[in-house]
Amino acid sequence: MRSVGLFLVGHIDAGSLHVGGDYPELYQELLGPHGINVVTYRCDEGQFPESLDEQDGWLCSPSRLSVYDDVAWLRTVEELLREIVRTETPFVGICFGHQLLAQALGGAVRKADFGWGIGAKEYEVHETREWMTPPREVIHLAASHQDQVLEVPADATVWASSDYCPVGGMFVGERAWTLQVHPEFSPALADSLLATRVSLFGEEHAAAARATLTRTSLDQGLLAGWISAFFHGE
């Protein structure tokens, strides 16, 4: 069993909590069957680790904030991410966590001209590591974001991209990697989030995105295996 700390920087919309709970429950459900125990650090409430050695590795949750928002505790999380990279501590950043690591290392994150990326999205895999077993050339996962990484940090390698999101995932060194889309979102959760935010996305865009969730099989199990193998050092 590996113990992985979760930097909790956001929450699931209250209208969809009934589907699978908040991010701590979602990641435990995703990774627990693979021998990962998720320990939550509520960064938005000022709870941070005293040492990165407290856990075997670290995750950063999604958030409805933007990484460039003027929020003091976000700057603390950024510094932790820089320390993670300096010390080659195992780290996985999802959605907001992907963007925050990019910004922390000198990359640029802004709202995309494309607008909202929502629904089931296809991402091409350009490069794999030994823990990405079985390997895939293409993955499908649920997306929900307006911001994107538009400038990649100097030391990062892009390993995944989509037609609407050129920087869909990064490798940073040997022990940190990120992904823009959501392995923790089941079709039911992604659909619920879309249904409760129609006024934000627009009826036509939301309906089209919801339809993709019935046509496409999401690779949640595949990514759960990749993330877990990474933290187990396999």
Question: Does 182 participate in catalysis according to the annotation?
Answer: yes
DSSP 173: T
**What would the two tokens of residue 199 be?**
């006024």
* Nearest in space to 136 (alpha carbons), one of 152, 145, 123: 123
Question: Does 95 participate in catalysis according to the annotation?
Answer: yes
DSSP 181: S
- Burial degree of 69 (CB within 10 A; 0-12, 13-18, 19+): exposed
Q: Which of 95, 98, 140, 165 is catalytic?
A: 95
Question: Does 34 participate in catalysis according to the annotation?
Answer: no
Q: Which of 43, 140, 165, 184 is catalytic?
A: 184
Task: Report yes or no: 80 and 52 within 8 Å, Cβ to Cβ.
Answer: yes
Task: Report yes or no: 93 and 63 within 8 Å, Cβ to Cβ.
Answer: no
Q: Give the active site residues.
A: 95, 182, 184
